[in-house]
Amino acid sequence: MSENLFSGKTAEEAVETGLRELGLKREEVQIEVIEEGKRKLFGSVPAQVRLTPIPKQTDGERALKFLEGLTELLGQDLVPALKEESERIVIDLSGGGKSLIGRHGEVIDAIQTLAGAVANIGREEYVRVVVDCENYREDRENTLKRVAEKMAAKAVRLGKRVRLEPMNPYERRIIHAALVDSPDVTTKSEGKEPMRFVVIIPKNLKPYERKDRGGRGGDRNRGRDNRYSGGNRGGDRNRGRDRDNKKPYPKRELPKDDTPQTTGTSLNRGGGNSGFRKGGFSGFFGTYLGNSRDENENETPSSDDKTEE
């Protein structure tokens, strides 16, 4: 039918008829209802709709539209433009300077990742999307090539592996490509994302040698050897000799049964100077638990006491 007009008893029936004839899905057309369709006492008026196919967007155009909305939300005065769409999609952001680049391109790389996800919706094979801003990609590529050559020369001069800073996969590919034909070095990537980095390995790599830290370490080792070898055995021999020459500990005789128990001083009942006598035995240590008053009362008086009475 002309102008994609389709009829039916109802508007829904007219839409289904038009989709079958056009071979499209509902989301791929714009529906315009011209006549809803009515029933009258005698007969009825058929429904009529117009279906206008929506032009399909390419993968690049879909990513471009996404970036237009993103820059507007970010409040940036940038104009996205689709520069290339073949084996890869290239979109350039112009008009706002380098405000969206960030440190080492962190911000623009994040925007590029989002645009790539939008462009690859529904695709079986992945297409690479590059988002550039004020020729940043080319400048960064030249910088990385210079860094690769400089670090390769350093690795050859020192004969050691040189590790570069962590980079995204795109920048690591630039380093590998810059040194792939070098006769002096090879490259490989190590680590895990997002901290994966490139290592430059010289072909004149020196074997690892453990360096001596100076005389102080040697002196410490010699001291340890003396202490744990001859010195220790000598000490054991000296301790054995000291044990053999050690004087026996003097034994003290136990007190006799009739030795009075005192509080640490020798008491002389027969008179004279009482008190501590140097070198003498003072009896048991401790305090006598008996009652001195009761002991004196029960004691039988001597003959001298009777005479005094």
- pLDDT one digit per residue (tens) for the chain, 309 residues: 457 788 888 888 888 888 888 888 888 888 888 888 777 666 677 888 888 888 888 899 999 999 999 988 888 888 899 999 988 999 999 887 677 888 878 889 999 999 999 999 988 899 999 999 988 999 999 999 999 999 999 999 999 999 999 998 889 999 999 999 999 999 999 999 889 999 999 999 988 655 555 555 555 555 555 554 444 555 555 555 555 666 666 666 665 655 555 444 444 444 444 444 545 544 444 444 444 444 444 444 444 444 343
CA–CA gap between residue 175 and residue 129 (Å, rounded): 20
Q: Are residues 160 and 191 in the same domain?
A: yes
In a domain, 186, yes or no: yes
In a domain, 308, yes or no: no
Q: Are residues 177 and 145 in the same domain?
A: yes
Q: Are residues 79 and 48 in the same domain?
A: no
In a domain, 146, yes or no: yes
- Which of 151, 158, 229, 217 is closest to 186 using CA atoms? 151
In a domain, 283, yes or no: no
In a domain, 253, yes or no: no
- Answer yes or no: are the C-beta atoms of 39 and 21 closer than 8 Å: no
Q: CATH code at 114?
A: 3.30.300.20
Q: Are residues 130 and 142 in the same domain?
A: no
Number of domains in the chain: 3
CB-hemisphere CA count at 13 Å for 281? 11
In a domain, 14, yes or no: yes
* Parent domain of 172: 138-202
In a domain, 242, yes or no: no
Domain boundary among 53, 70, 85: 53
- Which of 190, 188, 168 is closest to 179 using CA atoms? 188
Domain boundary among 148, 177, 202: 202
CA–CA gap between residue 116 and residue 118 (Å, rounded): 5
Q: Are residues 128 and 187 in the same domain?
A: no
Domain boundary among 202, 219, 244: 202
Q: Residue 172 has which token pair?
A: 């690591």
